Chains A and B, each alone.
Chain A
C-alpha cells in the first residue's frame, strides 16, 4: 500500500487530470450527439487514446510506470465515456473528471491492498 504523500497526491491529481482532459476532448468532439451507446463506446476508445500520450509523456517520468499507466488508462476511458454520452461543459467536465479520477484511485488502491504481498506459487 502506497503511503508516501507525494505519490498519493500525485495519483489523485494525475487521474483527475487525465479524466478531465479525456472528458473535455470527447465532449467537444462527440458530446452526446451520437446517441448514448455509440457515444459511450467511441468515447471510451477515444478517452484511452487521449490518456496514453498524456501518461507516457507527462506522468510516467514523475510518478512511475505501471502505477500511473494502469489507473490513468481507466480514468481516461471513463472520462471519455462521460464526454461521449453527454453534452458536458465547463464545471460539469471538471466535476466528472475529478470525481472519476478520485474514484479510480480509491478503487485501485483497494484492489492493490488486497492483491499485494506473497502469492501462492504451488508446485
Chain B
C-alpha cells in the first residue's frame, strides 16, 4: 500500500465535500450522468476512486458495483452514500496498484477524477486491464493537462504545488490509456481539452 498517497487523501477527506460537493459536482453532473448511464444492468462493475461517494448520486439504480479507494477516511465518509445506493454496492480500501481481485473479474471499470492522482498512472491502468475481462470496457471521467497555450504552461507550473494537496494538473491520460494497452474507442472533451470522458476496451 502506498502510505504517502493514502495519508494525503486521508487529510483531504476532511474538506473534500466542502470543496467538491457543490460547484464542481454540479458543473460536471450532466457529463457524469451521461457517462454512468453506460453502466450495464447485467455487468460486474469496478468503480474507482470512490472518494466520499459524491458520484453515487449519478449512478443508475440496480447495478452491481464494487467501489475502491486508497483512503480509509474517504471510504468511511462514503459509507452512508454507499448504503443509500439503490442497487448492489460495496466499498473497499484498496490501492489500484495492488488490487486483490482475480484477473478478468469485471465487465466494466469506471473512474472519476482518478488518474490525475494515481502515482503511477500507466501501472494503475495496467492493473485495471488485468482485472477486466477480454473485451471489457473502461469508462473514465478525468481532468488532464492541456495542449492549449497559456493553459498548458499554467498547469505545468501549478502541478507540483497542486500534487502536494491533491491531483496533478498536467497528466496526459489519453496517452497513458494507450500505453497501458487499451484500445481507445472515444475521447469526448467536456471543457476545453482539460476535462474529458474516455472510453476504451481491453
Contact = CB atoms under 8 A, between A and B. Distances in A.
Contacts, number: 74
B185 interface: yes
Interface stretch (A15-23, A25-33, A67-75, A86-94): A67-75
B188 A119 contact: yes
A121 B23 contact: no
B192 A112 contact: yes
Interface string B17-33: 01110111011100000
Contacts of A122: 184
Secondary structure of the B side of the interface? mixed
Contacts of B22: 61-62
A25 B111 CA distance: 41
A55 to B, nearest CB: 10
Contact of B23 (A64, A70, A115, A119): A64
Interface string B159-202: 00000000000000000000000001111111111111000000
A67 B18 CA distance: 18
Interface size band for A: 20 to 34
Contacts of B148: 111
Contact of B24 (A60, A74, A111): A60
Given A63-B23, A67-B191, 12 more contacts: A52-B158, A59-B23, A64-B26, A67-B195, A68-B23, A70-B194, A73-B154, A74-B150, A112-B191, A115-B193, A116-B189, A118-B186
For the complex of A and B, list the 6 residue pairs with the smallest distance between their C-beta atoms, beginning with the closest: A64-B27, A121-B184, A62-B23, A119-B187, A66-B194, A63-B23
